[in-house]
Structure formats: C-alpha cells, structure tokens
Structure 1
Amino acid sequence: MIQNRRFCTLAAGLWWGSLSTLGFFVVPMLFAHLQPVAVAGGMAARLFSGQTWISVVCAMLLIVASRGRGRAQEDGAAAPQDYGWIALVLAGLLLALLSEFAVAPRIVARENLRLWHSVGTGLYVVQWACAGLCFWRLLRPSSNPPPSQPA
C-alpha cells in the first residue's frame, strides 16, 4: 500500500508540476520572447496538446493505481474521501480532454478567439486545481498509519 501511495504521489506531482510549468512559465515566456505572436501561439498550441497527453497518462495511472484504496473497510465499500479523490482525477481528465478536443480546435481556427481563449484558460486553471488537490491529498499523512515496528 505504501509503494502504491508513493507511485500515486509521483504521478499526481508530475501532473500538477507539468501543468504549472507549462501554463505559468513556459507559455508566458513564449509570448514574451517569440515573435510574431502567431508563431508563439502555434508553439503554445503544440505544447498544450502535449500537456493534454501527459495529463491523460497521469490520470489513467492514478485511476489504475488507486483501485485498492477503499478495500480497507470490512464491507468492501470505498471510503467517501476515496470517491472525492477519484472525482478530482476524473474531473481533471475530463477537463484536459475537453480542452484538447472542444476548445483547442476553435482557438487554432481563430474562431471567436477571445471567448475560446478565456474558456480554455478557465478549463486549464480548474484542471490545475484538480491535479493540485489530488497531489495535496496524497501528500497528507495517511489516516491509517502503518503500525510501528518493535525495536
């Protein structure tokens, strides 16, 4: 269980960290230093597309690795906090896919650019928050710590 938790923490950290680095550092630097703006926008679109697939892989790894998290209860039902954790992962996954397949094509086509850029930014920030909350929850000490070993 501890190895599984470490793996989940690593996947959530990679997800949140990659979103943070790309969205809050790399893309703003592109627009600040790469001219014309259309070139920076094209490169940003490629980077965000790559980020979508990092998000999908991390979310799928979290879902697969968390399959046994709720099995500690006697009746086999998952604890409520486990459902909340999975809901965050699924929400982040859905937001990544919506951004890639519903919003990004409209931005690339320059269709109502202000609206779709705002929607894309909102989806990205909420996905970032979902990944961050997952990571934060995994960093918290477990409510059922392993028993201490005799000396």
Structure 2
Amino acid sequence: MTTRLAPGDTAPDFTLPDADGKPVSLADLRGRKVIVYFYPAASTPGCTKEACDFRDNLAELDDAGVEVLGISPDKPAKLAKFRDKEGLTFPLLSDPDKKVLQEWGAFGEKTMYGKTVTGVIRSTFLVDEEGRIEAALYNVRATGHVAKLRRDLKI
C-alpha cells in the first residue's frame, strides 16, 4: 500500500528538472502557497484537459499568491512539446524514476476500467507557505477539481 500524505504533514521536498531541463525545487517556493499536481502522461486527453484547466485559472491563482507545479514521469523533451502545444505557462516537472511520485503517495495501485493496475494516481496537493500539506486530494478527476480547489481557497 502506498503511503498517503494528509493535512499537517510536511511536504516532501524535491528538486526536479522542468521542461527545459532547469532544476525546480519546492524549497525555493517557501513563503508562497503551492499547488503540486501529479498526472499520468503529457498529451493524453485527460491530462491535457487538467493542464489546460490549471492554465485557464492561473491568473486568479497567481493573484491569490498560489504557484502551480505539474509533475509526471515524462522526460523534459515530451513536457516541452506538451507545454508549447497547449500554451502552458506554469512549470511541468519530470520525475522519470517516480521517486517524488512515490514519496507523495501519487504512484501505486489504482483501479482502471475495473482492473487493478500500478501507475500514477492523479493527485493534487496544496502546500502552505511553511511547506506543510494543507490539502491532499487523491484520485481526482481530470476535470472539475481546479474549480473545487478555487472554491476551497476562496479564489
């Protein structure tokens, strides 16, 4: 069973390459709220909808002092194509060895089409200014959860 994070837990720190290969560290964002979301694969229909939903709400999130980071097992080159094709303006981070995905409980057994499989568990987290988990949402839907986050954050 995958360990899951809960509100109040310290967010596991990470440094991962973005779509251009530049390192991005969660620790560098202390002092700001951060949405960290994990998705299975760039350029797939559900992940595209989810990323575009974040993109379309980014101005309001940014105005509220909330950064957005998307993480998947994709390599930087694939993330760059995805970013450019969809006009994404927030960092997409590469975790090909799935170490960060596992630390955050976003990789493990899940049910897909009635079968148990091992893979990325679509998950979204809100990290507060001190680096603690404020909200941990597992098995989120690709559509609609950005609106729920905005309601929860009162944005």
Give the TM-score range, shorter chain: under 0.3
**More helix per residue:** 1
Q: Which has the higher strand share?
A: 2
Larger Cα Rg: Structure 1 or Structure 2? 1
Q: What TM-score comes out, normalization by structure 2 length?
A: 0.27
Length-normalised TM-score, structure 1: 0.28
